[in-house]
Amino acid sequence: MSHHFNSPDDVTIAVIGDGFGALLVYTTAVYMGFDPRRIGIFGESTNPVGTYQQFAWNLGQTVLRSESESHFLPADWPTFAQMDAVARRDVTPLFRSIGRKFNPGVSEMLSEAAIVWKSLGYEHRVLGGRKIGWISREPGTPPYFSLYDEDGELVARARHAMLAIGHGPLAFTPVCQAARDNPKTADRVVQAYEAKRYQAGGRYMVIGSGIASVNEWVNILDAGAECIALRRNPQPEEQDLNVPRCLFDGSGIDAFQTLSFDQRLDFLGQALRGTSPSRRGWGDRVAQGRQAGMFDELVGDIASIDSGSAGLSVTVKALNGNQVALDLTGIVAGTGFVKSALSLPLFRRLVEHYGVPLERERIQLKTNCGVPPLDRPDSRLCMMGIQANTVVPNGDTIAGLKYIARRFVGDVARAEKLRRRSFPSRLAMQVGLARKTVRALRAVRKTEQLA
Amino acid sequence: MCPTPTGRIHTRTATLTLPALLGLILSLITGREDWIVLIGVFLLLGVALDAGVYSWILKYQPPWMTGILALVEFGLLYALAQILELDLRPAEAIIFYWVSWTLATATRIALLPIASLTYLESSGEFRRVEWSIPPQQASIPILADVESPPTPGSLIAAATVGSGSLLEKKPSPSAIHPIDRSASG
Ligand SMILES: Cc1cc2nc3c(=O)[nH]c(=O)nc-3n(C[C@H](O)[C@H](O)[C@H](O)COP(=O)(O)OP(=O)(O)OC[C@H]3O[C@@H](n4cnc5c(N)ncnc54)[C@H](O)[C@@H]3O)c2cc1C
């Protein structure tokens, strides 16, 4: 650092955001050889899994959507199935993984995350304890960014910054939004990612056929209630992990990036539309529900939502043009998050002030996830997570976050002429973390596999 | 994994390093060079299969396929060793093949991801930790560089003008763009 950088909160790498992305940039940087003191995490929480954990809890998620390779150790070996097998002295996870039927349990995965962040001193590098409200590119040499909080107070300065602030607000269709704004119906229309409780004997409609929706079908049936699944597409595709398999790999991501930005948006629209995974346990549960007359499906759109005798009176316009009126206890929208970059205040300000280019309300990132025009090779400003899935299609998964984190840290290492950690030291670090994880897994109750 | 042809060849070559070392040691100890020759033949056979067969029929290679390919390659290598009349007894060649295969598999699973951080996500290729497509090749609108100071009157200017200190307060951005907290879920 040059003489410009005197304050304790001046760092080489700043991560704005305190979730999964922040943890993965941090672990990657330490693994590559950065001194933790050169890294700063800027957000409110020292727990990088808190945001995800809340959503997962609300959704009732017990196993991850992703497979054995997606977890929090810096490098890709050992896989989660391998550690699970050693911890429990049971080869089943290995066989399941070979057949691509292994999904790490949420509690197991979060235990690993805790091992990683505690062992590598992550929480000591969460600086300021505040959200970042504004970033400015400071002119002159050396290049750096100033980070300000929501009150305009300077929090830190950083040579390179990664924006990892996660999703926008929860998304609702206009009809559902209107019902939420209406005091008579507001509390009966909820999002899959919100906290909720089902009543035995109730009847609920679940909008969408993605993984969050399918999860809710099962939650409703398990609560002894009736479930009506409503979706727009007659034929949902069967695919775990949000996007088609080879798209996750280098070759797939390379091919994706050769498309124009517009084509990529269209492709994501297609690939991410209403995909639902096959889960043995879930499939059986839904089949039982269907047989018992507790589960049904509709293809169409909600035309209106009013209060009714059972709680809600809902009209659905079916695909064939028929209107169906239904009495329901409530509606659960599995419609995800608002994808518009403008829904996140920090991004909206950057767009307005620096003219960051937008296309269909998504930031037109460079192919290295850089934010134009602020990003430059000697002082990178990058983005990860859902906002970066226009460059890395699985950007909002652990695997995609890792993909971006590694390349971003690689760029920073080159810009800073970092002396990289040696192979033996990397191996020792990885094996050390894996051993601690194995020990921790022994104390965690085994989560039932659903696939 | 969905290995590219290059990825397959990189992987094949890297994973046969330890078997080659083992073959070399055995050749030196026994004075029979056919141990190392067998690994050479294995490498050539593997590269030919990688480039000419697997890359076309196995775009996505599920993990369980590894065992099947090992058996196929064992059969082919055994036949080649017979044709080339290598100076190894059948039992020696069989044991040496499976020990080599185990070493190669262990290298692929455990060592390569540590040696190259992006090995798995780069379809089995050893790439620099870099983006696949340099931003210079991408089509994005040409924008002004922000090297020049921000326009006077902007938020940055308001925070820094006359202060000389970066600790000077800026007007709150959220005061300019009030956040709709009701919509934030
Ligand atoms: C229910 C659910 C299940 C999932 N299951 C899987 C799975 O099985 N496998 C998988 O690979 N992925 C899964 N994902 C996706 C995974 O959670 C996301 O990929 C990941 O959490 C995104 O990480 P992130 O850092 O971008 O965002 P987050 O983890 O959401 O973290 C962003 C953080 O930044 C904070 N923040 C926001 N604004 C600011 C600001 N201005 N300044 C500072 N901090 C700010 C937020 O409060 C938040 O804590 C799941 C997601 C959900 C919601």
Q: pLDDT tens-digit profile of A91-149?
A: 999 999 888 889 999 999 999 999 999 999 999 999 989 999 999 999 888 899 999 99
Q: What is the mean pLDDT of residues B150-158?
A: 33
Q: What is the pLDDT of residue B178?
A: 41
Ligand 1 atom showing the smallest separation from residue A106 Cα: 8
Pairing of strands A203-207, A189-191: unpaired
- CATH assignment at residue A366: 3.50.50.60
Q: Which of A315, A333, A351 is the last residue of a domain?
A: A333
- Whether A6 is in a domain gets the answer no
Look at residue B106 in the predicted model and tell me its pLDDT: 96
Distance between CA B130 and CA A53 in Å, rounded? 31
Peptide bond into A244 cis (omega under 30): no
Torsion angle of alpha carbons B13, B18, B19, B23, nearest 10°? 120
Cα torsion A317, A321, A326, A328: sign: negative
Q: Both A72 and A184 in a single domain?
A: no
- Is residue A246 in a domain? no
- A326 plus A388 within the same structural domain: no
Q: What is the mean pLDDT of residues B95-110?
A: 96
- From the CB of residue A188, how many other CB atoms can be counted at a distance below 10 Å? 22
Report the side by side order of strands in the sheet with A323-328.
Answer: A189-191, A330-333, A203-207, A226-231, A295-308, A311-318, A323-328
Residue B170, pLDDT > 80, answer no
Spacing, Cα A249 to ligand 1 middle (Å): 21
Q: Is A210 in the pocket of ligand 1 (CB under 6 A)?
A: no
Alpha carbon of A165 to ligand 1 centroid (Å) = 7
Ligand 1 atom 45 nearest Cα: A17
Q: Are both A129 and A20 inside the same structural domain?
A: yes
From CA A142, how far away is CA A1, in angstroms rounded? 9
Residues (pLDDT < 70) of chain A are 1-8, 233-245, 248, 269-281
Amino acid making up residue A379: S
Q: Does A5 touch chain B (CB under 8 A)?
A: no
Q: Take residue A109 and report the two structure tokens written for it.
A: 């995965």
Both A129 and A147 in a single domain?
yes
Q: Are residues A152 and A201 in the same domain?
A: no
Residue B51 DSSP class: I
Check residue B133 and give its pLDDT: 79
A215 located within any domain: yes
Average pLDDT of span B116-121: 93
In a shared domain, residues A412 and A318: no
Residues A359 and A412 in one domain: yes
Q: Is residue A251 situated within a structural domain?
A: no
Distance from CA of B43 to the nearest CA of A (A): 24
What is the model's pLDDT at position B157?
34
Contact A75 B114 (CB under 8 A): yes
Mutate to test the interface with B, among A51, A134, A194 (most CBs of B within 10 A): A134
Is the residue at A26 inside a domain? yes
Last residue of a domain, one of A333, A363, A381: A333
Of all residues in chain B, the one with the smallest CA distance to A370 is B135
User: What amino acid occupies position B131?
Assistant: W
Domain boundary pick from A333, A349, A379: A333
Query: Rounded distance, CA B91 to CA A430, Å?
Result: 38
- Are the C-beta atoms of residues B91 and B1 closer than 8 Å to each other? no
> Cβ contacts (< 8 Å) between B147 and chain A: which residues?
139
Do residue A94 and residue A194 come from a single domain? no
User: A194 and A329: one domain?
Assistant: yes
- List chain A residues with CB under 8 Å of B159: 136, 148, 152
In a domain, A202, yes or no: yes
Residues of A in contact with B150 (CB under 8 A): 136, 139, 353
pLDDT for A309 equals 86
Domain range spanning residue A130?
11-168+339-442
CA contacts within 13 A on the Cβ side of A241: 25
Q: Which amino acid is at A312?
A: L
Nearest Cα to Cα of residue A223 among A294, A127, A130, A118: A294
A231 and A348 within one domain: no
**Global pTM value:** 0.86
For residue B117, give the nearest of A193, A372, A406 by CB distance: A406
Instruction: Please tell me whether residue B166 adopts helix, strand or coil conformation.
Output: coil
- Beta-bridge mates of residue A302: A316
Residues of chain A neighbouring B59 (CB-CB closer than 8 A): 246
* Greater model confidence, B142 or A338: A338
Using CA atoms, how far apart are residues A247 and A245, in angstroms rounded to an integer?
5
Would A81 be classed as within a structural domain?
A: yes
In this predicted structure, the answer to whether residue B156 has a pLDDT above a threshold of 50 is no
Distance from C-alpha of B102 to C-alpha of B95, rounded to nearest angstrom = 11
A245 in contact with B at a CB cutoff of 8 Å? yes
The reply to whether ligand 1 has any atom less than 6 angstroms from the CB of A51 is yes
Report if residue A2 sits inside a domain. Answer: no
Residues A154 and A22 grouped into a single domain? yes
All residues of chain B having their beta carbon less than 8 Å from the beta carbon of residue A410 are 128-130
User: Which atom of ligand 1 is closest in space to residue A385's alpha carbon?
Assistant: 26
pLDDT digits (tens, 9 = 90+) for B43-66: 999 999 999 999 999 888 888 899
- Are residues A128 and A212 located together in one domain of the fold? no
Give the Cα-Cα-Cα angle B79, B81, B84 (nearest 5 degrees).
110
Count of domains forming chain A: 2
